[in-house]
């Protein structure tokens, strides 16, 4: 089975050629460690081979993601984005809509500069159930090869009830696996430790480290787990530059 | 997209020109670290350009805020303030009023020197729901460009039930974003660590640090997260002077 | 606005002249750190200017407070004391009385040498609700300028149910503020750390420190928070002498 | 008010003459630190002045307490002991008896050498309620001056439900205070730290320390809190000898 | 009252002659520290004087215990063993049998080499209630002098519901005491700390320590608590040899 | 009783000849420490003697396990694998199927290269109950000598409800023991510590350690517990090579 490239050259070297396709992986790290940036580079790599790629946005509205991404000068217009942010909550007694058929990805280039507003009459609360159902439909229309879920942390905090966290996360990851997608899922960790449950469920974990030093911030990257493949066991320095993430892993 | 100034010159340098407008940011720090002061300087900066600015008071009564702010010699008369403090609790069985239409901001200069008293017949308990509804109405009447919420900590502790903390905070922040406000929200942290949930939800975090040293208190400021922008990665010394906060960040 | 003296000369120096009147403050510290003593000196200072002053006793019976206080040789006879200790619990099914109208302060000089006994037929269980109601009535009859609540810790542990701790404490402190009282509220902390919630709600915190050293106990005092005023930022040595608390803060 | 002797000479020196009578005190310490021994010496001191004294046994059966105490060669025959140990639990659906009128203290000399057996037909489960009721009756018959409760830890773990721990402990201690008893209550602490709640409720705390050193165990004693009295602030070495506890506090 | 020997010579020296009979003791320690081995030596010591002795097996099936014990070359044939392991759980709605009359001890020599299988039609779930009832019956038939319960940890984790842990453990230990048995109860601790509740309830605790050193594992033994007796206060080295536990305590 | 070989030569030396057959053992360690690899070598060792061996897959789909295993160049075709992964969760109100009779192991060589998809009409949620029932049936058809459960962590997190974790795990392990299987059960631990409950229930624990050093990752292996046998007490270095795990334990 051939591996696929991550879009970050040094990381591919660490992974001995890239990722085993069709499996789910975790990208973990603290706030500001570059998780979304790495994921976007992964999708852009797909565009190079004319793959269809999908970004599932759970944390920020698409217009902000577009703005932030374009600041790197990348051509992300063909990346499709699915806005899975919940609407502003209405507190009226009428039941909240959960119409998964309403979710539709749009190419990034069509994302407007302002935020989509919660409509007056109803509001959409995203649950893991409705998102899964929506993705199922979406996957029928288009054969996405690469999928990014940004983030599983948001999925757990806002779209699940406590008692179903374990089995719903498991089911969601199984769902992506059955659909044959190579997927990166971001997980925000308060410190430089990983996230136990997600790492347990995924087939691999790329961890981003961020340490405050005397002279600013030092960044590192490591492979914490990679089922079915050997990989570089060192922690490797990385940078977030104006052109995206660069990993300083030497040729081995 | 142009950035807007924070009102603290050194902080603007740290932020490479200021804040991306229309997004929510966190100002975190322990008690006495200068959070409210920084927020007030942010609003005063808006007044310079004749912007309408709003201070949402959840922790202290407006008369005390006025008194405390004026001790810096600032002209805060045109800052509008919304008193979102709960009334004294009545324990009678009659239901507590939640009339969001009653909330009205007033210019700081009209805030009386004494506290507003809980009326005899009824009492107002602020919930995240009623506050959100009130702000929605208020935003229709006047186009506030800058909004301060002081504090999200109070909003969570007094205006929410435990089980809805995550999704209500998310919804409240989404609401401010949809309304297009550039907003600073204060979060009180017991030590010099940040606040996981709010930082996760906001687009940036300005953290205020306060350390007790042999010769009194040392103060620092740092940018912990800033989505869509590069920023200074150093922790920078700051002071709270008689004229407000001064950040000692050098020109880069 | 003029500040008022605390009754401890060195502490007034630390506070740059004393306390801003009409606001609630916390006095925190571990067992045996001098919290009640400091509060009593605060009330005695009021007596010097013929102010009416009130001590709300939640932890110990008034006769013990009188005995303990008189051991300093102070004239506390005119300090009024409100016995807000719960009675011995009866386990009979008949409902416990919560008649707030029964609470009446008495001058310390009239406190008998023995404890007030729980009457046979009924027993009084103090709740934050009944205490608040009682104080409301009491404040109508007499214009107390200084109020001590000893302690908020007892109020939270014995007079509230868990689920209402946050909002009830907030309401109680708001109540004292609306009544225009300058109030000191003691909080017992297991170690030399402060109490997060109360400090958050109050306008200032005076913290008492107690360390066991090779040669007995060392005592210190610090101002952890003082909204609307600058203050000494050092930790200052203090003593509990036969004449009360002495703070060794130099003139600045 | 005159202080009363504790029965341990060095401890009286630490307490500047002994304990203020009529108040509740805590004796805290880890397993094997001498808590029960110290309490027994406190009761024996009462016997010297022909006081009536009571030992409330919640942790061990009276026959074992008698055996253990007599190993010091003390004349404890006149110490009255109340067996407040729960019976073996029956799991039959018939309700457990809680007849507080059945509790009767007996002089230690009449305690049989074997354990009292749970009767076949019924079993007695001790609750804080029934114990309090029983003591109330017992105090009518005889005027005990000194009361030992061994231990409050057992009272909390076996005789209370979680939700009532705080207010029941408070009520129980208030009950002893109203009854005018000078009481020592033991509290077992896992390490050498104290017990927050009980210390908070009592008027003083004598803490027993036990450290494992290279050459066996080192023992110390300290006064952690003593309301209304000054006291020695040092930690003082002590021994458990064949004749009981000896505290090496020098004359001051 | 004469003490009885533990079966480990050095431990008897540490205990100043052995254990006070008729009381419950704890043997605590991490996995693999020798708890079961020590208990078996305690029972074998009883056999030397023709005492009846009982091993209550809650953690492992009797056939494995027999196999493991015989590997030391001991004659354990006359040790009676009670299989108190729960059966495999059936999930059918029919109620699980709790027939305490079914429990019967057998001499170790009659324990078959294979595990007793859960019968098809029903399954036995052991509760603290049924075990206590069974032991009550068993104690009528035969006068066991020494009883080992291996382990209280299993009793708590598998035979009790959370809310009854404290009082059921207390009742179970009281039951053994009333029956006049000298009993050792094992408690598994994750590290080298003890178990608070059980130690609190028992009259003594023998703790087994196990440290991983550069050259393998170092073992130690200590007496943490021994009510009614003095004891060696040192931590003493021990070994698990081919002939069982040897404690290196010198003659004092 | 003869021991059986583990398939890792050095580990057999550490175990003084291998494992006592018919008992349950734990293989614990952090992600990426080689747990599944060690278990697969254990099954391959069985194949050498023409034993029937079973791999119960709870964490990953069989096609990925096959792919990952074959990367070592092993002939795993005759290892039978039982796919006990839950299906993607349907949120429709119709009850989820729990048909244990549907579970069937297949030889690894027949595992397809793609994942088994959740059927449209129904979905299978694995519970500890249905898995146990399924294994019971499966064990009737074929006499498996070695069974691997990968992993107990997944069994606990996804197949049990919280309140039954303790007794269900106990019952499941008892079930394997009654069936006479020699079983290895993997447990994922967040750091290099073990898992308290599983270790408590199993007869032995092989722990895999993984430390990040300056020059990559160092791996070690240790025997933490081995009931009924002596074993090497050192922590021993190991490697995961292209041919599987190699343990560097010297001949003793």
> Would the pLDDT of B23 be above 60?
yes
Residue C83 confidence (pLDDT): 92
CB–CB of D144/D53 below 8 Å? Answer: yes
Q: Report chain D's terminal Cα–Cα distance, integer Å.
A: 21
Instruction: Return mean pLDDT, chain B.
Output: 85
Identity of the highest mean pLDDT range in B85-99, C182-196, C219-233, F79-93 = C219-233
* Residue contact B170–A32, C-beta within 8 A: no
Give the number of C-alpha atoms closer than 13 A to the C-alpha of residue D86, restricted to the C-beta side. 28
- Phi, psi (deg, nearest 5) at residue B219: -120, 145
> Would the pLDDT of E163 be above 90?
no
What are the Cα distances from residue F47, in Å, to B143, B191, F24?
77, 59, 19
* Residue contact B157–C166, C-beta within 8 A: yes
Rounded Cα distance between C100 and C133, Å, is: 6
Q: What confidence tens digit (pLDDT) does each residue in B159-198 have?
A: 776 556 777 888 899 999 999 999 999 998 875 445 677 7
**Nearest residue on chain C to D223, alpha-carbon basis:** C32
ipTM over 0.95: no
CB–CB of B216/B209 below 8 Å? Answer: no
Residue E120 confidence (pLDDT): 74
What are chain C's partners, defined as 3 or more CB pairs within 8 angstroms? Answer: B, D
pLDDT digits (tens), chain F, 252 positions: 689 999 999 999 999 999 999 999 999 998 888 999 999 999 999 999 999 999 999 989 999 999 988 888 898 899 999 999 988 877 655 545 555 566 788 888 888 888 888 877 677 788 888 899 899 999 998 999 999 999 998 888 877 765 567 788 888 999 999 999 999 999 988 754 456 777 888 999 999 988 877 667 889 999 988 988 888 888 899 999 988 999 998 765
Nearest to F138 by CA among F53, F63, F58: F53
**Neighboring chain B residues of C178 at a CB cutoff of 8 Å:** 88, 115, 117-118
**Neighboring chain A residues of B195 at a CB cutoff of 8 Å:** none
Of B68, B117, B153, the CB nearest to C178: B117
Q: What confidence tens digit (pLDDT) does each residue in E21-37 have?
A: 999 999 999 888 999 99
Q: Which residues of B touch A (CB under 8 A)?
A: 1, 20, 23, 129, 132-133, 166-168, 170-171, 174-175, 177-178, 180, 196-197, 199-200, 203, 205, 222, 224-230, 232-235
Instruction: Return mean pLDDT, chain E.
Output: 86
Query: Residue F248 contacts by C-beta under 8 Å, 6 or more apart in sequence?
Result: F10, F236, F237, F238, F239
Q: Which residues of E touch D (CB under 8 A)?
A: 1, 20, 23, 129, 132-133, 166-168, 170-171, 174-175, 177-178, 180, 196-197, 199-200, 203, 205, 222, 224-229, 232-235
> Would the pLDDT of C168 be above 80?
yes
Rounded Cα distance between A6 and A246, Å, is: 12
Residue B191 confidence (pLDDT): 57
- Phi, psi (deg, nearest 5) at residue C10: -65, -35
**Neighboring chain A residues of B222 at a CB cutoff of 8 Å:** 212
The residue of A30, A31, A86, A245 whose CB has the most chain B CBs within 10 angstroms, and thus the best one to mutate to test that interface, is A31
* Residue contact F212–A235, C-beta within 8 A: yes
**Neighboring chain F residues of A171 at a CB cutoff of 8 Å:** 86-89
- SS3 of chain A: CCCECCCCHHHHHHCCCCECCCCEEEEEECCCCCHHHHHHHHHHHHHHCCCEEEEEECCCCHHHHHHHHHCCCCCCCCCEEEECCCCCCCCCCCCCECCHHHCCCEEHHHCCCCCCCCCCCCCECCCHHHHHHHHHHHHHHCCEEEEEEECHHHHHHHHCCHHHHHHHHHHHHHHHHHCCCEEEEEEECCCCCCCHHHHHHCCEEEEEEEEEECCEEEEEEEEEEECCCCCCCCCEEEEEECCEEEECCCCC
> Would the pLDDT of D206 be above 60?
yes
Residue F186 confidence (pLDDT): 93
Nearest to D169 by CA among A241, A106, D157: D157
Rounded Cα distance between F144 and F128, Å, is: 20
Q: To 5 degrees, how large is the angle CA A32–CA A35–CA A39?
A: 145
Rounded Cα distance between A41 and A12, Å, is: 12
CB–CB of F171/E88 below 8 Å? Answer: yes
**Nearest residue on chain E to D126, alpha-carbon basis:** E167
CA distance E68 to chain F (A): 4
Under DSSP, the state recorded for E4 is: B
Rounded Cα distance between A145 and B58, Å, is: 48
* Residue contact F215–A234, C-beta within 8 A: yes
Question: Which pair of tokens denotes residue C132?
Answer: 């608040």
Model confidence band, residue D192 (pLDDT cutoffs 50, 70, 90): very low
* D111-130 average pLDDT score: 81
Q: In the structure, do chain B and chain C come into contact, i.e. share 3 or more CB pairs under 8 Å?
A: yes
**Neighboring chain D residues of C117 at a CB cutoff of 8 Å:** 178
**A80-83 and D204-213 as β-strands: parallel, antiparallel, unpaired?**
unpaired
Of E89, E125, E216, the CB nearest to F233: E216
Residue B96 confidence (pLDDT): 52
Residues C71-106 as b or e (16 or more Cβ within 10 Å = b): ebebebebbbbbbbbbbbbbeeeeeeebebeebebe
Q: What confidence tens digit (pLDDT) does each residue in B119-144 have?
A: 776 778 888 888 998 999 999 989 99
Size of interface B-C (CB pairs under 8 A): 69
* Residue contact C60–D227, C-beta within 8 A: yes
The residue of B100, B134, B228 whose CB has the most chain A CBs within 10 angstroms, and thus the best one to mutate to test that interface, is B228
Residue B233 confidence (pLDDT): 82
Q: What confidence tens digit (pLDDT) does each residue in E46-101 have?
A: 999 999 999 999 999 999 999 888 888 898 899 999 999 988 877 655 545 555 56
Residue C28 confidence (pLDDT): 92
* Residue contact C60–D235, C-beta within 8 A: no
Residue F49 confidence (pLDDT): 93
Residue D163 confidence (pLDDT): 58
Of C71, C89, C242, the CB nearest to D167: C89
**Nearest residue on chain D to E23, alpha-carbon basis:** D64
pLDDT under 70: residue ranges of chain A:
1, 91-102, 121, 161-164, 191-195, 214-215, 251-252
Rounded Cα distance between F31 and F107, Å, is: 26
Of C31, C91, C125, the CB nearest to D199: C31
Record the pTM: 0.83
Residue C97 confidence (pLDDT): 53
Of C71, C88, C212, the CB nearest to D171: C88
Q: In the structure, do chain A and chain E come into contact, i.e. share 3 or more CB pairs under 8 Å?
A: no
Long-range pairs for D239-246: beta carbons < 8 A, 24 or more residues apart: D240/D34, D240/D37, D242/D72, D242/D73, D243/D72, D243/D73, D244/D8, D244/D37, D244/D40, D244/D41, D244/D72, D244/D74, D245/D8, D245/D11, D245/D34, D245/D37, D245/D38, D245/D41, D246/D8, D246/D10
Any idea how long chain F is?
252
**B144-150 and B52-57 as β-strands: parallel, antiparallel, unpaired?**
parallel
* Residue contact E64–F23, C-beta within 8 A: yes
Residue C192 confidence (pLDDT): 47
CA distance F192 to chain E (A): 14
**Edge-to-edge strands, sheet with E52-57:** E106-107, E80-83, E52-57, E144-150, E182-188, E24-29, E204-213, E216-226, E236-241, E244-247
Peptide bond into F151 cis (omega under 30): yes
Nearest to C82 by CA among C58, C100, C99: C58
> Would the pLDDT of E41 be above 60?
yes
- Phi, psi (deg, nearest 5) at residue A124: -105, 120
Residue A249 confidence (pLDDT): 85
* Least confident span in B118-122, C78-82, D98-102, E104-108: D98-102
* Residue contact B167–A64, C-beta within 8 A: no
**Neighboring chain B residues of C133 at a CB cutoff of 8 Å:** 91
CA distance B162 to chain C (A): 9
* Residue contact D228–C118, C-beta within 8 A: no
Question: Which pair of tokens denotes residue B35?
Answer: 């959070």
**Neighboring chain C residues of B91 at a CB cutoff of 8 Å:** 129, 132-133
Residue C101 confidence (pLDDT): 64
Residue A118 confidence (pLDDT): 82
- SS3 of chain F: CCCECCCCHHHHHHCCCCECCCCEEEEEECCCCCHHHHHHHHHHHHHHCCCEEEEEECCCCHHHHHHHHHCCCCCCCCCEEEECCCCCCCCCCCCCECCHHHCCCEEHHHCCCCCCCCCCCCCECCCHHHHHHHHHHHHHHCCEEEEEEECHHHHHHHHCCHHHHHHHHHHHHHHHHHCCCEEEEEEECCCCCCCHHHHHHCCEEEEEEEEEECCEEEEEEEEEEECCCCCCCCCEEEEEECCEEEECCCCC
Model confidence band, residue E192 (pLDDT cutoffs 50, 70, 90): very low
**Nearest residue on chain E to D72, alpha-carbon basis:** E228
The residue of F19, F129, F191, F200 whose CB has the most chain E CBs within 10 angstroms, and thus the best one to mutate to test that interface, is F200
* Residue contact C170–B158, C-beta within 8 A: yes
Rounded Cα distance between D147 and D182, Å, is: 6
**Nearest residue on chain E to F236, alpha-carbon basis:** E216
**Neighboring chain B residues of A31 at a CB cutoff of 8 Å:** 199-200, 205, 224-225
Any idea how long chain A is?
252
CA distance A198 to chain F (A): 11
């Amino acid at each position: 089975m051939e591996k696929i490239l991550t879009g970050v050259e040094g990381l591919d070297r660490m992974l001995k050629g890239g990722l085993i396709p069709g499996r789910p992986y975790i990208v973990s790290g603290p706030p500001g460690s570059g998780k979304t940036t790495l994921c976007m580079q992964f999708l852009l790599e797909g565009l190079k081979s004319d793959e269809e790629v999908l970004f599932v946005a759970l944390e920020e509205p698409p217009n902000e993601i577009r703005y932030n991404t374009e600041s790197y000068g990348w051509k992300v217009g063909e990346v499709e984005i699915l806005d899975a942010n919940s609407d502003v909550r209405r507190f009226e007694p009428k039941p909240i809509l959960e119409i998964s058929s309403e979710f539709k990805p749009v190419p990034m280039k069509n994302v407007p500069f302002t935020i989509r507003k919660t409509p007056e009459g109803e509001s959409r609360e995203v649950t893991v159930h409705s998102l899964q159902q929506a993705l199922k439909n979406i996957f029928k229309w288009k054969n996405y090869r690469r999928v990014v879920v940004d983030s599983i942390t948001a999925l757990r905090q806002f779209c699940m009830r406590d008692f179903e966290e374990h089995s719903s996360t498991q089911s969601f990851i199984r769902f992506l696996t059955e659909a044959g997608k190579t997927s990166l899922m971001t997980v925000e960790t308060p410190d430089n430790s990983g996230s136990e449950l997600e790492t347990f469920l995924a087939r691999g974990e790329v961890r981003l480290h961020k340490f405050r030093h005397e002279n600013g911030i030092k960044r590192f990257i490591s492979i914490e787990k990679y089922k079915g493949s050997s990989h570089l066991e060192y922690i490797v320095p990385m940078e977030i530059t104006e052109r995206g993430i660069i990993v300083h892993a030497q040729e081995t």
